[in-house]
């Protein structure tokens, strides 16, 4: 709506430096969001996309902190290239779909102007749709409709109608929908018991399969199950019985996770996991401050690359939903950065107690979604 059109730009295939930075952000954000007991699900892809778009308008200490948190200190121009390339590689095909969309919304006001260079950079790297609206109530409704459309209706509201949007919002929506490479037919489904994080037993439906990739890490075991087409996978990691899910997640770091996934052993493994479905929402400001970017949320924020007006991040809203069934997996996420002034096998993994899981891009082994299922 502003005449900004995406132009070609240099991209860089994800290397070990980017993978380490992305995994580190994924793990550290999950650790900040997980309270030790509750079902949790974040999309590192969605959050990093929305925040990197925002960082493209940051300067000074604000930019330095955002580069450190999002890219482990990687310069923003490099992070744009890597993240754009990675996002572009997340293809869809028969039986599997990954959609990743970005948008920027701002109030049409003679007293507030957005720098065209900022809009152009985000259009170039993230194919960002750009919208101007005249009234606050109109823009909130339109953002929610946009999010619903790009998450296949699974997230119908990111912003509450009462939320004030005084200046600008940067939005990402991510939707994953894939069938298993091997379905769970009736004879691979049984009644089972799951012990939740409070120690209470629950009756669940267990899905049984024989997989070929076994994870054997420090104080944990797990497996990787492929979706149709082999592009994406579902990784589940179960702490040893003497290790709580809280302690396990707290002990993780990006490098440790990456090594576990990369070193998955090719062998037969009988896997059992419960059918599950839940939704999760969080306001990420405190988590991101704790990770090392407090300036973006303070009066000292420098987003002069976005506008000549004084801006700070007021909220980072994140909503997710997942459904794991016999047929496959559906998972969606939306992130809004709201800115204002101011069978028998050799191994066995039975997910009958709290576990961590991820939806992976199998080529890079980077998580698109990361969560913890506690049964609560």
**Is residue 5 domain-resident?**
no
Percent of the chain with pLDDT over 70: 93
Specify whether 250 is located in the same domain as 300.
no
- Rounded Cα gap, residues 287 and 283, in angstroms: 8
Q: List the CATH number of the domain containing 349.
A: 2.30.39.10
- Cα separations (Å) of 287 from 25, 88, 284, 314, 331? 11, 28, 5, 13, 22
- Cα separations (Å) of 215 from 63, 83, 138, 226, 306? 37, 27, 49, 14, 44
Would you call 71 helix, strand, or coil by DSSP? helix
pLDDT in tens, 3-43: 677 666 667 888 999 999 999 999 999 999 999 999 999 99
Q: List the CATH number of the domain containing 137.
A: 3.30.497.10
The two structure tokens encoding residue 35: 């309270």
Specify whether 160 is located in the same domain as 185.
no
Specify whether 59 is located in the same domain as 108.
yes
Report the number of distinct structural domains present in the chain: 2
Specify whether 158 is located in the same domain as 71.
yes
What backbone phi and psi angles, to 5 degrees, belong to 234? -110, 120
Specify whether 39 is located in the same domain as 123.
yes
pLDDT in tens, 119-139: 999 999 999 999 988 766 678
Give the global pTM. 0.92
Residue 163: pLDDT band (50, 70, 90) is low
Instruction: Identify the domain containing residue 304 by its residue range.
Output: 16-178+278-341
Specify whether 58 is located in the same domain as 113.
yes
Residue 357: pLDDT band (50, 70, 90) is confident
Mean pLDDT, the chain, rounded, equals 91
Using the CB atoms, write b or e for 256-290: b if 16+ within 10 Å.
ebbebbeebeeeebbbbbbebebebebebbebbbe
Q: What is the DSSP string of 120-166?
A: HHHHHHH--EEEEES-HHHHHHHHHHHHHHHTTTS---SS-TT---S
User: Which residues touch 153 (CB under 8 Å, ≥6 apart)?
Assistant: none
- Pure H helices in 164-235: none
């Amino acid at each position: 709506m502003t005449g900004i059109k995406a132009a070609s730009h240099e991209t860089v295939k994800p290397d070990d430096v980017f993978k380490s930075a992305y995994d580190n952000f994924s793990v550290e954000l999950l650790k900040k969001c997980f309270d030790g007991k509750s079902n949790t699900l974040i999309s590192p892809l969605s959050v990093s996309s929305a925040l990197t778009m925002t960082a493209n308008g940051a300067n000074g200490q604000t930019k330095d902190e955002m580069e450190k948190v999002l890219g482990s200190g990687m310069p923003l121009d490099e992070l744009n290239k890597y993240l754009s390339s990675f996002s572009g590689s997340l293809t869809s095909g028969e039986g599997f779909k990954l959609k990743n969309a970005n948008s920027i919304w701002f109030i049409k006001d003679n007293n507030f102007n957005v720098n065209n260079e900022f809009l152009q950079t985000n259009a170039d790297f993230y194919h960002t749709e750009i919208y101007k609206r005249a009234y606050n109530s109109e823009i909130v409704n339109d953002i929610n409709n946009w999010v619903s459309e790009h998450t296949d209706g699974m997230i119908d509201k990111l912003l509450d109608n009462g939320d004030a949007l005084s200046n600008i919002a940067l939005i990402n929506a991510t939707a994953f929908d894939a069938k298993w490479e091997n379905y769970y037919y009736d004879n691979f489904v049984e009644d089972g018991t799951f012990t939740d994080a409070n120690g209470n037993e629950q009756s669940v439906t267990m899905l049984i399969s024989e997989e070929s990739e076994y994870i054997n890490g420090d104080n944990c075991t797990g497996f990787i199950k492929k979706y149709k087409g082999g592009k994406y996978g579902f990784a589940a990691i179960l702490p040893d019985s003497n290790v709580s899910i809280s302690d396990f997640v707290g002990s993780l770091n990006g490098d440790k996770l990456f090594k576990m996934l990369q070193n998955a052993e090719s062998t037969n493994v009988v896997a059992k996991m419960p059918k599950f479905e839940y939704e999760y929402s969080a306001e990420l400001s405190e988590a991101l401050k704790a990770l090392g970017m407090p300036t973006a949320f303070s009066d000292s924020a420098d987003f002069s690359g976005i506008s000549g007006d004084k801006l700070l991040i007021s909220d980072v809203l994140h909503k997710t939903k997942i459904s794991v069934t016999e047929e496959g997996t559906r998972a969606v996420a939306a992130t809004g950065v709201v800115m204002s002034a101011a069978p028998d096998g050799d191994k066995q993994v039975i997910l009958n107690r709290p576990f961590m899981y991820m939806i992976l891009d199998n080529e890079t082994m980077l998580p698109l979604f990361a969560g913890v299922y506690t049964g609560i």
